[in-house]
Amino acid sequence: MEAAMGLMRRMPPRHSETTLSALLSLLPGHASDLLSQVDLPLQVLSDVDSGKKFILCEYNRDADSYRSPWSNKYHPPLEDAPYPSSKLRQMEIEANDIFTVYCEQYYEGGISSVYMWEDDNEGLVACFLVKKDGSKTGQGRRGYLEEGTWDAIHVIEVGPEEEITRYCLTSTVMLSLTTDDVSSGTFSLSGSIRRQMNMNLPVADGHLSNMGKMIEEMEAKLRNSLDQVYFGKTREMVCNLRPPNEVVQMRLPTS
């Protein structure tokens, strides 16, 4: 299993789906481990009622059907399927509305979904998902990207409600971007990172507010990490391979 995860970390992130299906066919006995530890780019369906898109994941799936956070219906329809309690569904609706606004602010578009359910320890689990297509044919506003996707999955385990409640967040971001022009050729970066964050927060502030702030903080950290550390390291490597010529004119930053 460790070897399988090692392979996941080395294969090009663009091929993560192929890598995972290759591993699943070689290690059928480890299927549930692999599926829970490996994240793949998010898939999307359209809600039958409103046509609004929603994101598919393990947390809104039952058998081969997926529950929409907009209509609360399973696609395709399913008998005897699990639903959140009506109280939780209220919170889920509110979370979806607010998260949509948050995504509009940060992602200038994109698709978002939130799913909630009660867990065995009298707490709850919430999953916040975002999918953004930033390519110039998608929702990229500035037309820089030939291809660009950002997929974020945030799973928060909320401990049993006490004055100070425990929140455990596990976040994964997968992204890829490609620019392409005649003079500089094709430039492609892609990758994924996963981090965890635990906080004890006053329940009086409200679950949504607490979870929202954690996610916002986490996304900022991940974005920064990808930009400065990860992309930065690849840039450093390129400079090591071929030390830049000082005499060369640097392209001035476009404003």
Partner 1 sequence: MAEEETELSDQQKKGIAKWFLINAPAGEIQYVAKDLKSVLKDDDVYNEAAAVAFPIYNKSHLIYLKMPGGYGDVLVTSYGELQDNEYLDPKTAQVVIVDHVKQVCKRVRPATDEELPSPYIEEYRYALEAELLKYAAEAYPKGSCAVYCTNGKDVEGPGSDFEFVVVISAARNSPHNFCNGSWRAIWNIEFRDDIQVLELKGKCQVGAHYFEEGNVQLDAKRECSDSTMFQGPDDTATAVVHLIRRHENEYMASLEGSYFDLSDNTFKELRRKLPVTRTLFPWHNTMQFNLKREIAEELRIGELHDIKRA
Contacts to partner 1 from residues 147-186, by CB under 8 A:
148-150, 175, 177, 179, 183-186
Residue (of 135, 158, 138) closest to 208 by Cα position: 158
Size of the site for partner 1 (CB under 8 A): 95
Span near partner 1 by CB under 8 A; candidates 39-47, 117-125, 163-171, 220-228:
220-228
Span near partner 1 by CB under 8 A; candidates 52-60, 116-124, 162-170, 189-197:
189-197
Q: Which is nearer to partner 1, 121 or 137 (CB)?
A: 137
The answer to whether the beta carbons of residues 114 and 137 sit under 8 Å apart is no
Beta strands in 136-184 (DSSP E): 147-158, 164-181
Applying the rule CB under 8 A, the residues between 20 and 59 that interact with partner 1 are 22-23, 25-28
Residue (of 106, 124, 102) closest to 115 by Cα position: 124
Applying the rule CB under 8 A, the residues between 76 and 95 that interact with partner 1 are 83, 86, 89, 93-94
Q: Establish if 190 lies at the interface with partner 1 (CB under 8 A).
A: yes
Secondary structure element (H or E) that encloses residue 235, with its range:
helix 232-241
Say which residue the tokens 């949509």 belong to: 100
CB 166, min distance to partner 1, A: 19
Length of the chain: 255
Q: Establish if 111 lies at the interface with partner 1 (CB under 8 A).
A: no
Q: Given 3-state DSSP classes, what are the helix, strand and coil percentages for the chain, each rounded to the nearest 5?
A: 40, 30, 30
Considering only 51, 80, 82, 250, the residue that binds partner 1 (CB under 8 A) is 250
